[in-house]
Amino acid sequence: MNNLLILLFFLKVNVNKNIKMNKKLLFTGLVSLALALFGVLITIIPVVGKFSLVFNLIAFSLGLWLTIFPFKQSTGKVFAVIILFISLSAATFGIWSNFIQDKSPQKVDWQKVDQKLDGKVKDDRPKGDSLNKQMDDLEKSLGN
């Protein structure tokens, strides 16, 4: 989506009477559109990372800003590069989390878990009559 906005920006620049038609910029815009389509393909695959989402939101906001406000061509180019970089980061994360990240089941190191939390955890079971009452209730429910 953000890449599409970049394309709109370039088209906007290109159709502006005061700025001469720039084929390089139009080409960048088309590449951007291709990236946008790639981004869509990545997003429709179920696992999309939170990072990917955050990156895309930032890129989208910048893209929207870029499209609405009349930047100079050079300023626009800088923004466009930033947005493309962010979008590519999002796509890279998407690829990593979908295809590269090791999702095979791993054995949990329970000793490590225990050591990490053992000092914090206390036995806060009820005491005295309160415990007896709860145990009576458990005894009654046993086998029922």
Partner 1 sequence: MKKSVLFLVLCLTGIISMSQTKYSLKESKIMFFSKAALEDIQAVNKSSIGLVDATSKDFVVKVTIKSFVFDKALMQEHFNENYMESDKFPTAVFKGKIEGNFDAAKDDSYPVKMNGKLDIHGVVKDRVIPVTIVVKNGIITFSSEFKLALADHGIKIPKMVTQNIAEVVDVKVEGTLEPYVKKP
- The contact mask relative to partner 1 for 124-143 (x = CB under 8 A, - = no) is xx-xx--xx-xx--xx-xxx
Is 53 a binding residue for partner 1 by CB under 8 A? The answer is: yes
Please state the closest distance from residue 135 (CB atom) to partner 1, in A.
Answer: 7
Q: Are 79 and 5 in contact (CB under 8 A)?
A: no
- Structure token pair of residue 76: 């626009």
Helix (H, G, I), strand (E, B) or coil at 46: coil
CB 59 within 8 A of CB 29: no
User: CB within 8 A of 6, min separation 6: which ones?
Assistant: 28, 29, 32, 63, 66, 80, 83, 84
Residue 42 beta carbon to partner 1: minimum distance, rounded to whole angstroms: 14
Site for partner 1 in 81-110 (CB under 8 A): 97, 101, 106, 108, 110
Residues within the interface to partner 1 (CB under 8 A): 47, 49-51, 53, 97, 101, 106, 108, 110, 113-114, 116-118, 120-125, 127-128, 131-132, 134-135, 138-139, 141-143
